[in-house]
Amino acid sequence: METSAFELLCEASQLCFADDEKADFMERLGSLIKFASVKNIDCDFNDEETVNSVSLGDLREDAALPSLPTEKLLANTEPLFNCFVIPKIME
């Protein structure tokens, strides 16, 4: 992972690391990104093109898997205007 990309991610997520922590975290984050990557897809924005898209064939198949029951997932939510709102628990 490039240092500039890492610093942009830190700024966007409001994370702050000491200089000695950055290298280790960049390595770990890079390995997570590599693990989660499906294919090498060029997602850089090109303002010369009108459409920057990814072909459907380049994406992995979405498969539904069994998960938690809906009632359990919504247990801590509050209904509001036909939506479910998750209460803020951290500042």
DSSP annotation string for the chain: --HHHHHHHHHHTT----HHHHHHHHHHHHHHHHHH--S-------TTSS-----GGGSPPP-------HHHHTTT-EEETTEEEPPP---
**What local confidence, expressed as pLDDT, does residue 46 receive?**
64
**What local confidence, expressed as pLDDT, does residue 41 receive?**
61
Residue of 35, 39, 87, 84 lying closest to 61 (CA atoms): 39
Per the model's pLDDT, the better-predicted residue between 41 and 28 turns out to be 28
**What local confidence, expressed as pLDDT, does residue 13 receive?**
85
Single-letter amino acid code for the residue at 61:
E
Query: What are the residue boundaries of the structural domains of the chain, listed by start?
Result: 1-42
pLDDT in tens, 39-87: 666 666 666 665 656 777 778 788 888 888 888 887 877 777 877 777 7
**What local confidence, expressed as pLDDT, does residue 39 receive?**
61
